[in-house]
Amino acid sequence: MSETDDSEPAPSRGGSSIWTRLALVVFLLPVVVVLFPTTVVLLPMMLPTIVAFTIDRAEGRPFTITVGLLNGAGTLPAVLGVWAEGHNLAVAQSALSEVLFWFIAYLCAAIGWTIYMVLPPILRQYYGSITDSRVDALRKEQDKLIEEWGEDVTGAAAVSDQAARGRSQGKKQDAQSRMDAAATDLSD
């Protein structure tokens, strides 16, 4: 017999996905049946979220979450109206015929899409300017240290001396000779 590998192969993502989908169907199917009028209202009003879920491939699905939360909040008035008026198909159809419910749901979804599309470039610009100002402050601090302590604090003199020595020798030094050169530079 050949050697055995103690480590087990990692489960494929597809396998866990099947079980996740099966569990989702098993638990959501009774909810959809019991709350059918609510489902009739939610499904068409949450179409922007379904589209976002379909096109969002980023880890954690931030686009889907942004659009979904705002779209869900916008759909809430229609769902609450269905619940308040009796929770049956006639009330659900009445809620679907209300233009104001559609407007609120899709406006909130549009705000979610806008936030996701506009906010990252704005934040990138903001953090870029913060980083640039931090770099400028560090350069000013470095200049102050150079004025106070001299050019040796930069380490540029040691690097240029080593480069000049390396060029003049014309051949590659071994590790021991480089360590000797570094020790000599430190003692100077």
Run means of pLDDT, 10 residues per run, the chain, 188 residues: 49 64 87 92 96 94 96 97 95 96 97 95 95 94 89 70 58 58 63
pLDDT of residue 184: 67
pLDDT of residue 188: 54
Which residue do the tokens 């233009």 mark?
Answer: 99
Q: Are 91 and 64 in contact (CB under 8 A)?
A: no
pLDDT of residue 169: 54
pLDDT of residue 14: 47
Which residue do the tokens 């638990």 mark?
Answer: 27
Cα gap 112→104, rounded to integer Å:
12
Which residue do the tokens 């996905």 mark?
Answer: 17
List the one residue out of 112, 88, 100, 85 whose CA is nearest residue 39: 88
Half-sphere exposure of 144 (CA within 13 A, CB side): 6
Q: Are 104 and 52 in contact (CB under 8 A)?
A: no
In the chain, where the domains are located? 15-119
CA 187 centroid distance within chain:
50
Cα gap 38→67, rounded to integer Å:
20
**Confidence (pTM):** 0.61
Q: Are 97 and 60 in contact (CB under 8 A)?
A: no
* Cα-based torsion angle of the residue sequence 93, 95, 96, 101 in order, rounded to the nearest 10 degrees: 180
List the one residue out of 103, 109, 106 whose CA is nearest residue 70: 109
pLDDT of residue 102: 97
Cα gap 74→78, rounded to integer Å:
8
pLDDT of residue 20: 85
pLDDT of residue 1: 47
Cα gap 103→7, rounded to integer Å:
55
